[in-house]
Amino acid sequence: MSGQPADQQVLLGRPTVGEEELAAVAEVFRSGWLAGAGPACRRFEERFAQVTGTAHALTTSSCGAALFLGLKVLGVRPGDEVIVGDYTFPATGHAVLQAGAKPVFADIRPDIFSADPAAIEALITPRTVGILAVDVAGLPGDFDEYRAIADKHGLWLFEDAACSSGATYKTRPAGSLADLAAFSFHGRKGITAGEGGALVSNREDLIAHARKLHTYGIEPAISREGSGTLPIPEFHELGWNFRLSDIQAAIMGVQLDRLPDLLAARRSVAKRYHEAFADVDQLTAPVELPDREHPWQAYLLTVAPEVSRDALALRIREQGVQCNFGTYASHLQPVYGEQQPLPVSADAFRRQLAIPMHAELTEAEVDRVVTTVREAVNALA
């Protein structure tokens, strides 16, 4: 880590929050309903469904909870296989294990790092029940191809849109590209309440079932507010407490207001990075595709094989610029047991470097990142 004080470092990620979020939280305090699945959650769900181009949304305590709930309502059972895009934080594969199924990891495209459609189709067996496709760093993968494969083999399609708020694919919003989609509101995401998530779908039956499961197996208490009787819920299946608090939902309502400006700021930073690193032979900038809009949850440089990514990262950190590896080649993680080699994903795992990307970056900070990275590369090349 850098020896510089935290306030002198260029941060890898930073949320944009302020007085508007504080005012929204104060309103929840005055309402008296701070718990989960309350009025603020319902208001945010209605708005988030519109933003994601879907008919229904459910707030959850995390994206991991949303992924797990989605798999449960899709009917995943022990013995099932779920094909998962390999290059992702292991929460994706964890959700499959937690649902009792086996994740089967698919290798990725070498340019945008989402699952290669041909790799997906080659993995389908009689035990395959669905495809869990990951939007790496927020950029949607090849969803028309994924859908065609799913329909051909009678599979469901689930979008891990953890990083994708504000992204689009062929003009369609992330979230509307599959049978279900899961989002994250973690502190490093494009919009955030610190933690939290959401599950969205056009299928009312799936979201209604997930709504019961996320409240121990019954409808949330707000559904019984104002009843002229004394309804006593019955528990017919096992559920969990995966609710988002109304405090977090109020913050997310303000974050949705901010979303266009946050996206514009991140895209401006990405443009400056593209230009600054275009002539650095040892670095490959992330790809932008003309048929989809990137939300730039992260900016992942790919380091040439002759330069040590790890040595580069340490040198950059020494100068007070935060950085990290990209994300995980999930098939290499011991928790998943023996997996087939996936060379493209393994290579990305070894060579990708995340540099500061957030809406609060100043021009001076971007210049400092660029100078620091270029100097570090020159020193190691």
CATH number, domain with residue 273: 3.90.1150.10
What pLDDT shows up at residue 234? 92
What pLDDT shows up at residue 222? 85
Q: For residue range 100-118, what is the model confidence (pLDDT) as tens digits?
A: 999 999 999 999 999 999 9
- Examine residue 217 and state whether it is found in any structural domain, yes or no: yes
**Which of these is catalytic: 72, 152, 170, 189?**
189
The domain tally of the chain equals 2
Sign of the CA dihedral with 212 first, then 44, 299, and 315 last = negative
Domain boundary among 230, 256, 282: 256
Q: What's the Cα-to-Cα distance from 7 to each of 112, 221, 319, 320, rounded to whole Å?
A: 33, 43, 13, 10
The token pair that represents 259 in the structure block? 């979303």
End-to-end CA distance of the chain: 22
Domain boundary among 218, 235, 256: 256
- How far is it, in rounded angstroms, from Cα 28 to Cα 32? 7
Can you tell me which residue has the tokens 């939290």? 196
3-state secondary structure of 283: strand
- Examine residue 31 and state whether it is found in any structural domain, yes or no: yes
Q: For residue range 39-66, what is the model confidence (pLDDT) as tens digits?
A: 999 999 999 999 999 999 999 999 999 9
The token pair that represents 214 in the structure block? 């996320």
Instruction: Verify whether residue 189 is a known catalytic residue.
Output: yes
- How far is it, in rounded angstroms, from Cα 143 to Cα 112? 13
Domain boundary among 196, 230, 256: 256
Residues 366 and 225 in one domain: no
The token pair that represents 270 in the structure block? 């990405």
Q: For residue range 65-77, what is the model confidence (pLDDT) as tens digits?
A: 999 999 999 999 9
Residues 239 and 325 in one domain: no
CB burial of 117-137 (b: ≥16 within 10 Å; e: otherwise) equals bebbbebbeeebbbbbbbbbb
Q: Residue 203: which CATH number?
A: 3.40.640.10
- How far is it, in rounded angstroms, from Cα 107 to Cα 90? 15
Residues 80 and 209 in one domain: yes
Residues 197 and 337 in one domain: no
- Examine residue 104 and state whether it is found in any structural domain, yes or no: yes
Q: What is the mean pLDDT of the chain?
A: 96
Residues 183 and 247 in one domain: yes
CB burial of 18-35 (b: ≥16 within 10 Å; e: otherwise) equals eeebeebbeebeeeebee
- The shares of helix, strand and coil residues in the chain, as percent rounded to the nearest 5, are 40, 20, 40
Look up the domain containing 45 and give its range.
19-256
pTM recorded for the entire structure: 0.96
